Amino acid sequence: MSANPILAPFPAARPRRLRRTPALRAMTSETTLGVGNLIWPIFVTEVAGGEGEIPSMPGVERLTLDGARRAAERAAKLGIPAICIFPHSDPDKKTEGCERAWDPENIGNRAIRAIKDVAPDLAVMTDIALDPYNINGHDGFVQGGVIVNDETVEALVRMALAQAEAGADILGPSDMMDGRIGALRSALEGAGHQDVTIMSYSAKYASGFYGPFRDAVGASGRLVGDKKTYQIDPANRAEALRCVARDLAEGADMVMVKPGLPYLDICREVKDRFAAPTFAYQVSGEYAMLEGAIRNGWLSRDVVAESLLAFRRAGCDGILTYYAPQVAELLA
């Protein structure tokens, strides 16, 4: 776009001319939203009776393995290119050592295989962080009240290799430990998984918008302290850009900004500065606010597509959104 657009004076210039009809608006639309821009996050539970609607995320459910299979078939039918698995693990099996994080039979790895069985062409994305299996609720090991970095990275590598072996297409390190992308890329190359893609949560903020997600994965009430020593301060912009640059230099194929709508300025700058595949996560708190307002009649459901279009306008190539199947049906 020109930095100095030429504008004729009124009445020669009447911008409303191009808004007059649906056809004219379609012809001059600058941003599009398609099914190919959607990634659908789902929660898969191993807890007996753990399935069903999540109270703080009305309309979103925890799924059994059979439910995950059905979701994958639905996604494939709708043309959604990718589904992202988040495990709801047995709280009685969470430990400080997080050993189940790299167990080939944990619920996340079982879900990868189950989805690939019914929808082999659907891209399966995973989450790499220790919090689903950590009794302390943190993304890394806690030692003496400190979330330790290097020991955590070693565990994340083991977790990533188990997910790659299970058939994951996209690994999503969401932990924000330093140096983990380089370690993951090196390990994947060495193990013959050179084609497995990394979508790094490069700019993940220490946000208050994650509350309903923690309900969904059973982490609410378990978190000891907060995550401010490893997630980015919401006040910081330059730090986020440095983290993105670092992750790309270490071998990330794609990068993510999280949360989404409150951080669209970061999305725009990441895309403009690095020209890398850029994604954002419309997180649980964003979903809960929109869906709560819609169900109370305060907002029209049209705001869902509008919110996703805002991500695209800000430069995002794709969006992780719990609305993916509904929007795919709308676009169809």
pLDDT at 3: 67
Residues sharing a CB contact under 8 Å with residue 46, sequence separation 6 or more, in sequence order: 87, 88, 89, 90, 106, 107, 110
Q: Which residues pair with 143 in a beta bridge?
A: 146
Cβ atoms of residues 211 and 285 within 8 Å: yes
Q: What is the DSSP letter of 95?
A: B
Q: What is the mean pLDDT of residues 148-170?
A: 98
Annotated active-site residue 204? The verdict is yes
DSSP states along 18-62: GGSSHHHHHHT------GGGEEEEEEEE-STT--EEETTEEEEEE
pLDDT at 154: 98
The whole-angstrom separation of Cα 69 and Cα 60 is 16
Q: List, for residues 75-127, the tens digit of each pLDDT value.
A: 999 999 999 999 999 999 999 999 999 999 999 999 999 999 999 999 999 99
Residues sharing a CB contact under 8 Å with residue 64, sequence separation 6 or more, in sequence order: 44, 45, 51
| From 94, 227, 258, 271, the catalytic residue | 258
> What's the first-to-final CA gap in the chain, in angstroms?
31
| From 204, 227, 228, 271, the catalytic residue | 204
Q: What is the DSSP letter of 222?
A: T
Classify domain 35-331 by CATH number: 3.20.20.70
The whole-angstrom separation of Cα 78 and Cα 41 is 15
Cβ atoms of residues 322 and 41 within 8 Å: yes
Element (H, E) at 306: helix 302-313
> Residue 1: pLDDT above 60?
no
Q: List, for residues 271-297, the tens digit of each pLDDT value.
A: 999 999 999 999 999 999 999 999 999
Average pLDDT across the chain, whole number? 96
CA 222 to chain CA centroid, Å, is 22
Burial class from Cβ neighbours inside 10 Å (0-12, 13-18, 19+) for residue 188 reads: buried
Annotated active-site residue 116? The verdict is no
> Residue 2: pLDDT above 60?
no
- Whole-angstrom CA distances from 156 to 20, 98, 104, 150, 319 are 54, 10, 14, 10, 24
Is the N-terminal amide bond of 58 cis, ω within 30° of 0?
Answer: no
Residues sharing a CB contact under 8 Å with residue 204, sequence separation 6 or more, in sequence order: 174, 176, 231, 232, 256, 258
Tokens of 252: 């990330």
Tokens of 80: 């959604």
Please give the angle made by the CA atoms of 221, 224 and 228, to the nearest 5 degrees. 115
> Residue 236: pLDDT above 60?
yes
